Structure 1
Amino acid sequence: MPARPPAADRREPASVADRNWAGNVRYRAARRHRPSTVDELRGLVARTDRVRAVGTGHSFNRLGDTTGELVSVAGLPPTVALDRDRGTVTVAAGLRYGDLATWLHAEGYAVTNLASLPHISVAGAVATATHGSGPTNGNLATAVAALELVTADGDLLTVDRADPRFAGMVVNLGALGVVTRVTLDVVPTFGVRQYVRLGLPRDALDAAFDAAYSVSAFTGWRSSRLDQVWLKQRADQPPPLADWLGTTAAEVACHPVLGLPAVNCTAQLGEPGPWHERLPHFRLGFTPSSGDELQSEWHLPRTAAGAALAALDPAATRIAAVLQVCELRTVAADGLWLSPNHERDSVAIHFTWIGDPAAVTPVLAEVEERLAPFAPRPHWGKLFLRNPAATYLRYDDFRALLREFDPAGKFRTEELDRYFPRA
């Protein structure tokens, strides 16, 4: 039966923000809207020449910016409907993953993976192929079984895996319509223990990636060893050995950025807890940081991890000078056309930079140049400079979807036109 999360979990901003979470993008929309019903949203889309949906604002580029109308779906009823027979849950697009996860766990269910932040919206994370980690875990979009969206003419369309266009519509960058509901696969709830290990030798990274359900390695590019490895293991699995891969065990809780307090991080030191309180790096009830940062991330074939890090080594001093932390994760291959993990198991190299675009941009350009031999695919919601079109096997097929669903360019943006020209 349809249900609502507890009232405490439905807190939302009173209005649509005028800038993104990091503050590096001020939205240029002529007007901002927060409809309270799907019919209100449909009418808005139908009568508007240019419109874009915005989620929780955790993207760092202008892919979702528009000079037309900006619309938030956070005001739509935050409904959740669990189908135990099908093993799915259908949720309002603007619901945050953390709120959904809390509700699901109480019902005895889980999704297989979560991103570092539980604060992001379901539809926004899916549209950009945001991910967690794990050698057999796909990005969050791979759990999508169906989408409901408002198309350019204001119609309400539902598509599922039986539709031959579906694999091109899930990771859609907001370019095919405004998503109103998402149906996700669910599994029985499970427990997780989180351990932090210190000082991993770089040549042991590949073995570390296979050592737990979800693994993240962190480096500041100031040492030949990786600073930390966060192992998120199923609660019924044994802890890592005392001398695991030449590392030592952290004796106190850690923050990914060395020296920062760990109060807003999820519980560590092997303390068992439900999946949704361990798979993210940060707690739902805390703001993970001030937002004074920039982020970039590239996905490469997993087999290229060692060579890619070696290619970046000559730039280590320049990277470290503008870096807060670099995170390394694996993501399983999938069949979604615009997924950075399309048809290849991947290693994701993520950079959290200082909040200074002038200082970061030349380093970002150098990183892209050094990674170019490995066919990098950037995270669509983060900062990148090069057009990644050549690395996507179904690029032309997605352009055809754009022409089919949005021939007049209602959902187009300047940034989207750079990567998917209309001609």
Structure 2
Amino acid sequence: MTERVRNWAGNIEFGAARVHRPATVEQVQQIVAGAEQVRVLGSGHSFNPIADTDGDLVSLAGLPADVRIDAERGTVSVAGGVRYGDLARQLDAAGYALHNLGSLPHISVAGAVATGTHGSGVGLGNLATAVAGIELVTGDGELVTLRRGDADFDGSVVALGCLGAVVRVTLDIVPAYQVSQHVFEHLPRAELDAHWDEIAAAGYSVSLFTGWAGDTVDQVWVKRRDGDAPAPAELFGAAPAAGARHPIAALSPVNCTEQGGVPGPWHMRLPHFKLEFTPSSGEELQTEYFVARADAVAAFAAVERVRHLVVPVLQISEIRTVAADTLWLSPHYERDSVALHFTWVPNLDLVLPAVDALEEALAPFGARPHWGKVFRHAPRYPRSADFAALAARLDPRGAFRNAFVRRHVLAE
């Protein structure tokens, strides 16, 4: 019987005829070369069929999780299937850090990079911007190395698994640093509009959580690096939380990283959730759209115009910022962005009308969806044609293409 594999949320059951868990890069090369159709599965934290295939599904979690720090070059090289949280612990123990982390430390390096996954910070690029090199197995089983500065590099990092199986990633590193986390509550909605730029830049990393139902933003999480100015006594009318908080107010904060301004290692404060606990609510779907940061206030108003469809199926929404980059299929390509993230109830039939309403409301802003989350349509990117040509060159037989890729990425 064919092994049945589901994603983390459980809403996608992959249709693969065969599931592989190779232990060496050589085995990956053999599997890919012998497969008619193949896709690579990361940590399964996507909410759509981006990794699905009716051919061969390859998990890289079994590759040796060796971490190679090059202090002279300021980089770390790691197997693509390694989770960020595990990498971060080893880096910190050696006195190093990454520039940013996502909300969840549970995601794999290669999967997060390939989909343009991000943290938050007006001056911080997404996780893929730290990539200095990648090694991938192309459709003929060849191992190819691409480095920053190569002609094809900017098209090969956020590549959605279209070019090959990324077996190793080299990332920029920096000296380890400390972060403290303060949570403020009940930010007046009018103050968000009036002081958006100041609020977004109030810390090294800032996240706002809202249910879009009232006249306040529920929580503002401000993460400050050592050496930053002290946290304010209040934030434009938002008061410091009296205790630890979960983004979803009804849930216990026990799974969340430490708050209250207590300094701690970067990897134990930048994510919202602890590596050893279940991330977020555990029962959910997710959607996320990116618009230009300059359009943030107008985009907030657009969401509120359709909140009658959004609120009934919403658990919580997060607002973040991401700096522009030059990666061809990055949702933040050449655009400083504001991220509008929606954590839904785990019922796709109920959620899709809200997704449709959001896409229509945000269309005037050229909204780009997160590649790994629930969405209906993705716009063409300025370098979409160049990416299609690159995919044809590196994977001429189309081994890594699936229905998702053909519809949203390589459509004529």
TM-score normalised by the shorter chain: which range applies? over 0.9
Name the structure 2 match of 1:130: 117
- The alpha carbon displacement at 1:156 in A equals 0.5
Q: Among residues 401, 406, 411, which one is paired with 1:417 in the alignment?
A: 406
Q: Which residue of 2 aligns with 1:242?
A: 233
| Counterpart in the other structure of 1:37 | 24
2:293 and 2:86 mapped to 1: Cα distance?
32
1:327-367 alpha-carbon deviations (Å, 9 max, x no partner): 00000000000001000100000000000111110111001
Cα distance, 1:61 vs structure 2: 0.5
CA distance in 2, matches of 1:148, 1:326: 35
C-alpha deviation, 1:290, in angstroms? 5.5
Q: Which runs of 5+ in 1 are unaligned?
A: 1-14
2:299 is aligned with what amino acid?
A: A
The reply on whether 1:219 has 2:206 as its aligned counterpart is no
The one of 54, 65, 68 aligned to 1:78: 65
Q: Percent identity at matched positions?
A: 55
The structural deviation recorded for 1:322 is 0.3
Task: Name the CA distance, whole Å, in 1 between partners of 2:213 and 2:287.
Answer: 19
Q: Tell me how far apart the structure 1 counterparts of residues 271 and 302 of structure 2 sit (CA, whole Å).
A: 29
Of the candidates 359, 383, 388, which is equivalent to residue 368 of structure 1? 359
Match of 1:139 among 126, 136, 143: 126
| Contact 2:39/2:56 (<8 A) preserved | yes
Q: Which whole-Å deviations, capped at 9, do the CAs of 1:179-218 have from their partners, x for residues lacking one?
A: 0000000000000000000112322333110110000000
> Offset at 1:315?
1.5
Per the alignment, residue 249 of structure 2 pairs with 258
Q: Residue 85 of structure 2 aligns with which residue?
A: 98
CA contact (8 A) 2:369 2:378 kept: no
Q: Is residue 312 of structure 2 the alignment partner of residue 321 of structure 1?
A: yes
Is the Cα–Cα contact under 8 Å of residues 255 and 274 in structure 2 kept in the other structure? yes
Q: Distance in 2 between matches of 1:70 and 1:82?
A: 30
**AA in 2 matched with 1:305:** A
CA distance in structure 2 between the aligned counterparts of 1:111 and 1:367, rounded to whole angstroms: 33
Q: Indicate if the aligned counterparts of 2:137 and 2:164 stay in contact, CA closer than 8 A.
A: yes
**Alpha carbons of structure 1 residues 183 and 93: separation in structure 2 relative to 1, 3 Å:** same
Task: Please report how far the alpha carbon of residue 422 of structure 1 lies from its aligned counterpart in structure 2 after TM superposition.
Answer: 6.1
- Per the alignment, residue 340 of structure 2 pairs with 349
TM-score using structure 1 length: 0.94
**Alignment-mate amino acid for residue 256 of structure 2:** C
SS of corresponding position for 1:223: coil
Amino acid at match of 1:35: P
- The one-character-per-residue Cα deviations of 1:41-83 (angstroms, maximum 9, x if unpaired) are 1011111111110011000001110000000011111111000
2:389 matches 1:400: yes
User: Could you report, residue by residue, the CA deviation over 1:253-304 in whole angstroms, capped at 9, with x for unpaired residues?
Assistant: 0001111100000000001100000000000011124632110000100000
The structure 1 residue matched to 2:174, chosen from 187, 197, 200, is 187
Which residue of structure 2 lines up, in the alignment, with residue 331 of structure 1?
322
The one of 223, 229, 244 equivalent to 1:232 is 223
Distance of aligned partners of 1:113 and 1:16 in 2 relative to their CA distance in 1, 3 Å threshold: farther
Cα shift at 1:245: 1.2
Name the aligned partner's letter for residue 120 of structure 1: I
* Residue number in structure 1 paired with 2:55: 68
Go from structure 1 to structure 2 and tell me whether the alpha carbon gap of 1:355 and 1:171 turns closer, same or farther (over 3 Å shift): same
In structure 2, distance between residues paired with 1:339 and 1:41: 26
Between the aligned partners of 1:369 and 1:222, the Cα distance in structure 2 is 20
Q: Distance in 2 between matches of 1:63 and 1:277?
A: 29
TM-score, length of structure 2 as denominator length: 0.97
Report if aligned partners of 1:175, 1:402 keep a CA contact under 8 Å in 2: yes
* CA contact 1:387–1:418 (8 Å) conserved in 2: no
Residue 3 of structure 1: aligned partner: none
Letter in 2 for 1:119: H
> Which deviates the most, 306-315 or 264-273?
306-315
Q: Which runs of 5+ in 2 are unaligned?
A: none
Contact 1:16–1:71 under 8 Å retained in 2: no
For residue 141 of structure 1, give the secondary structure of its aligned residue in structure 2.
helix
Q: Which residue of 2 aligns with 1:12?
A: none
| Residue 268 in structure 1 maps to residue 259 in structure 2 | yes
Per-residue deviation, residues 350-402 of structure 1 (Å, max 9, x unmatched): 0000001111101110010000000001100001101322xx11111001111
1:122 to partner: Cα distance: 0.3
Q: What RMSD, in angstroms, separates the aligned Cα atoms of the two structures?
A: 1.3
- Per mean C-alpha deviation after superposition, the further-off stretch among 235-244 and 49-58 is 235-244
Change (3 A) 1:325 1:347: same
**1:16 Cα shift?**
8.1
Q: Structure 2: which amino acid aligns with 1:407?
A: P
Matched pairs, number: 407
Name the CA distance, whole Å, in 2 between partners of 1:282 and 1:159.
33
SS in 2 for 1:246: coil
Match of 1:196 in 2: 183
CA–CA distance in 1 between the matches of 2:410 and 2:104? 32
SS of aligned partner of 1:347: strand
Letter in 1 for 2:103: S
Separation (CA, whole Å) in 2 of partners of 1:211 and 1:224? 21
Cα distance in 2 between the residues matched to 1:228 and 1:273:
21
User: 1:126 Cα shift?
Assistant: 0.3
Letter in 2 for 1:359: L
Deviation for aligned residue 1:240: 2.3
Hey, what's the Cα distance between the residues in 1 that align with 2:411 and 2:313?
36
Q: How does 1:144-163 map to 2 (within 5 A)?
A: 144-163=131-150
Equivalent residue letter for 2:259? Q
* Equivalent residue in structure 2 for 1:299, among 275, 281, 290: 290
Q: Secondary structure at the match of 2:184?
A: strand
